[in-house]
Copies of this chain bind each other. A is one copy, B any other.
């Protein structure tokens, strides 16, 4: 394919640290969408952007160009407020599966497009696919019809929403240009705006188990998500939340889906329930269903007490072809045959649980993906019996490896992910920052 001279000039400008103007960015993304800009020129430009960064104006222009490459869903006439949530992802983050039907049960419309797992972090679509029959691939028409009828759908990105982002993302993955704030922000915001919700709550994960390690970096990313989403005419709020250890007790696809449903049964681990409730309250306030946090939490609590959230979960699972019995009977989900105990090498207090290491272990067990072509085994998993701040005695089980064979090797890897000390440790704070404005 012949190189494009105007793109070459843009590459040189970005390479030398200059800003690209709106016309240059539009021309590039149009060329990505219609295939006239060769991939090698986009790859060079992505690397230049990775190294030199982008201004707020450039990031907004890139987001708009990506959005314009496809259609934008429109919920006019749906009669209820629309709201969405996006998490930057971390080990054990199964929040969306409980949150979306819970918030929908309180009267909001939740048109949620989700992703798959890659590397050490899982993906909501993989978790939902553990439910027998569940379809994550919906046509745009089916997605829209279900959202209007049930109030909620969780599906994969359809090809006609921000298609240029799909092409760029594949290139970024192959060219070492994933972890760039302007590229991450424009990719996330263009997709979220394309799915049409009037407001978006961002959960920016921060810590050893997340892409962003430091609080400063997380605040930077959260601020950029917030401002770019607002520049696109949508409401936005961003929480920065701790992801030093996995969220909840379950890691794996089927067992995380069970644990998410447990939130709606009021029997899930406290940290998972608390974060889901906090995000749900932010969504209800944003949607105008509650005036402030306490009123929103009261509404959420009532939806659990009355069983409205469970019934919404059943309807949403059934609407997407899944077996709704999983909501009351988790035995319908696939399950690994054996449990291998991960025992404490010494007594003391758990001071850290390395989520990244456990995420990589799940991949090694077949429960995650090394490359996009890998298939995942939904039934394998890791169950944490002890978390940060918990006391443990020497020889006591700290976790279980759920697999198809006795797995002392994997148990040893899981044990190494635990740090045990002599000092008392407070359980970590969950919400580190709340950027409402």
A binding-site residues for B, Cβ under 8 Å: 3, 5, 8, 11-12, 15, 38-44, 46-48, 50-52, 171, 173-177, 371
Which residues of chain B are within 8 angstroms of A177 by Cβ–Cβ distance?
A: 15, 44
How far is it, in angstroms, between the C-alpha of A201 and the C-alpha of B52 when the chains are bound? 37
- Cα distance A102–B306 in the bound complex, in angstroms: 99
Q: Are A175 and B51 in contact (CB under 8 A)?
A: no
Q: Is the CB of A41 within 8 A of B175?
A: yes
Closest-by-CB residue of B relative to A373 is B2
Flag if B11 contacts A41 (CB, 8 Å): no
Instruction: Please tell me which one of the listed residues B12, B41, B176 contacts residue A8 in the complex, with CB atoms under 8 A apart.
Output: B176
Residues of B within 8 A of A5 (CB): 371
The residues of B that contact A11 with a CB separation of less than 8 Å are 47, 175-176
Which 3 residue pairs across A and B have the least CB separation, nearest first?
A3-B174, A44-B175, A40-B43
CA–CA, A364 and B39, complex, Å: 31
Q: Please indicate which of the listed interface residues A42, A46, A51, A52 has the most CB atoms of chain B within 10 Å of its own CB.
A: A51
Q: In the complex, which residues of chain B have a beta carbon less than 8 angstroms from the beta carbon of A47?
A: 11, 15, 43-44, 47-48, 51
Name the residue on B nearest A175 (C-beta). B44
Interfacial chain B residues near A50, Cβ < 8 Å: 15
Once the chains are docked, how many angstroms separate the CA of A434 from the CA of B51? 37
Question: Are B41 and A44 within 8 A (Cβ)?
Answer: no
Residue contact B38 to A174, C-beta cutoff 8 Å: yes
Distance in angstroms from A120 CB to nearest chain B CB is 16
Chain B residue numbers with a CB within 8 Å of A171 are 40
- Minimum CB–CB distance from A183 to chain B (whole Å) comes to 13
Distance between Cα atoms of A43 and B41 in the complex (Å): 7
A62 CB, nearest partner CB in chain B, Å: 18
Q: How far is the CA of A12 from the CA of B46 in the complex (A)?
A: 13
Chain B residues lying within 8 Å of A175, measured Cβ to Cβ, are: 3, 8, 11, 40-41, 43-44
Say whether B41 contacts A174, CB under 8 Å.
yes
**A174 with B12: CB separation less than 8 A:** no
Q: Are B176 and A15 in contact (CB under 8 A)?
A: yes
Q: Are A40 and B174 in contact (CB under 8 A)?
A: yes
The CA of A48 and the CA of B46, in the complex, are separated in Å by 10
Chain A to chain B contacts (Cβ below 8 Å), 24 pairs: A3-B173, A3-B174, A3-B175, A5-B371, A8-B175, A11-B47, A11-B176, A15-B50, A15-B51, A39-B40, A39-B43, A40-B40, A40-B42, A40-B171, A41-B43, A41-B175, A43-B43, A43-B47, A44-B46, A44-B47, A47-B51, A48-B51, A51-B51, A51-B52
Q: How far is the CB of A164 from chain B (nearest CB, A)?
A: 15
Name the CB-closest residue of B to A7: B174
Query: Which residues of chain B are near A8, meaning CB under 8 Å?
Result: 174-176
Residue pair B41, A38 in contact (C-beta under 8 Å)? no
Rounded to whole angstroms, the CA-CA distance of A149 and B5 in the bound complex is 44
> Cβ of A38 and Cβ of B38 under 8 Å apart?
no
Instruction: Write the nearest CB–CB distance from A180 to chain B, whole angstroms.
Output: 10
Bound form: Cα–Cα A38–B39 in Å? 9
Specify the chain B residue showing the minimal Cβ separation from A370.
B5
A384 to B: closest C-beta gap in Å: 31
Most central of A38, A52, A174 by chain B CB within 10 Å:
A174
Q: From A172, which residue of chain B is reached at the shortest CB distance?
A: B44
Since A8-B176, A11-B47 are in contact, a sample of 7 more A-B pairs with Cβ atoms closer than 8 Å, ordered by chain A residue number, is A3-B174, A12-B176, A15-B47, A39-B39, A39-B43, A43-B44, A43-B175
A38 CA to B38 CA in the complex, in Å? 12
Q: Which residues of B contact A42 (CB under 8 A)?
A: 40
Question: In whole angstroms, what is the CA distance A173 to B40 when docked?
Answer: 11
- Distance (whole angstroms) from the CB of A437 to the closest CB of chain B: 35
Q: Distance in Å from the Cβ of A104 to the closest Cβ of chain B?
A: 39
